Structure 1
Amino acid sequence: MFRKQRLPLLLWFRLARIYNKSNRMSSKYLSQWNLTVSQLDLLAQIGVHQPIAQKDLAEKLFVTKGNITHSLRILENAGFVSRKQEWRTKYIQLTDKGERLYEEVVPKQEEKQAQIFSSLTKEEQKTLLELLKKVEKNQLNRSD
C-alpha cells in the first residue's frame, strides 16, 4: 500500500530543484520587506484564517507552537500582526499594515510559484496534488 503513495524518483528530484529555485527566488523577492519565506508563510496563513489561534496556525504549518513564536514576535514587532490572549488561547490577526503587505505580496508570490511549478507535467502535478491532499487529510485526522 505504501508504494502506491510514493512519488516517482524523478519527480522527487524535480521537486527538489523546484524547491531550491523557489526558495532562492522567494528569499530575494521578500528581502525588500525584510521577510523570510517562513514569515511569509505565517503571514499568508494568518491572512486566510484570521483571527487564528496560535496552536491552529502551528498545525496548519506542520510545526509546533513553539517553532512559530519567534517568527510571530518578529512580525508583531514590525507591526504586521497583533496577538491577543483569550483565556488560554493566543489569537493572531493581521494589522492594517499586515493586511496591506498581505494584499501586495501574496498574489505576486503565488504568480511566481505558479510559474515555477508549471515546469511539472500535468501527470506530475496530478500525482503531487493527490499526495498533498493525503498528507493534509492525515494531518487533519491526527489533530482531531
Structure 2
Amino acid sequence: MNKTRMGLLLWFRLARVYEQNLSRSAAHLKQAGLSPPQFDILAQVHAHQPITQKELAGKLFVTKGSVTYLLKKLEEEGLVARRQTWKEKHITLTPQGLAALEAVAPGQEDFQAAQFDGLTDAEKRELLRLLRKLQKTTRQEESSCS
C-alpha cells in the first residue's frame, strides 16, 4: 500500500472514531441537558476561572463564533456569569453551573474512558504515544506554514 493511501485510510478511520465518539457523547450529555460544547465550556471555565472570553475560545473544540452564542445560552440558564472588566469579559461558573458540572462530570469522564475498554493497557499507552507524536508533527507543520 502506498504512503498516500495509508495516510488517507488512517485519516478516515480516525475521523470515523471521533465522529462515533462525539455522537455517543452527545447522547450521553443530552440526558443531563447539555451539549458537548456546553459541557466543554463548563469544564474549561471551571478549570481556568476567571477566564476571558478570548482565552476560553482558544481552549474549546468549537469555532470562536459559536462561543458567544453558547455563553449567552449558558448565562440565560444561570450556569455562567460574564463580567465586563475594562475591555474584557471574564467568565465564571455560578453556583448552579458548578453543581451542574459536578453532577455530570464524573459520569462523562467514566463514559469517555470506557470508549477505550476494548484496548489493553499497553495498547492504550501506545495509542497515546502515537497520538502525541502525530500532534507534535502536526504542530511543527503548522508553524512552518505560518
User: TM-score if structure 1 supplies the norm length?
Assistant: 0.76
> 1:9, CA displacement in angstroms?
5.0
Determine helix, strand or coil for the equivalent of 1:108: helix
Unaligned runs of 5+ in 2: none
Following superposition of structure 1 onto structure 2, how do residues 91-130 of structure 1 map, counting pairs within 5 Å?
Answer: 91-119=90-118, 121-122=123-124, 123-130=126-133
Aligned alpha-carbon RMSD (Å): 2.8
Asked if structure 2 preserves the Cα contact closer than 8 Å seen for 1:53 and 1:89, the reply is yes
Following superposition of structure 1 onto structure 2, how do residues 77-92 of structure 1 map, counting pairs within 5 Å?
Answer: 77-92=76-91
Unaligned runs of 5+ in 1: none
Asked if structure 1 preserves the Cα contact closer than 8 Å seen for 2:81 and 2:94, the reply is yes
Residue number in structure 1 paired with 2:19: 20
Alignment CA distance shift 1:113-1:50 (3 Å) = same
Say which one has the larger Rg: 2
User: TM-score if structure 2 supplies the norm length?
Assistant: 0.75
Determine helix, strand or coil for the equivalent of 1:35: coil
> 1:36, CA displacement in angstroms?
1.1
> 1:64, CA displacement in angstroms?
5.5
Residue number in structure 2 paired with 1:59: 58
Query: In percent, how many aligned pairs have the same letter?
Result: 46
Greater RCO between the two (CA within 8 Å, min separation 6)? 1
Residue number in structure 2 paired with 1:131: 134
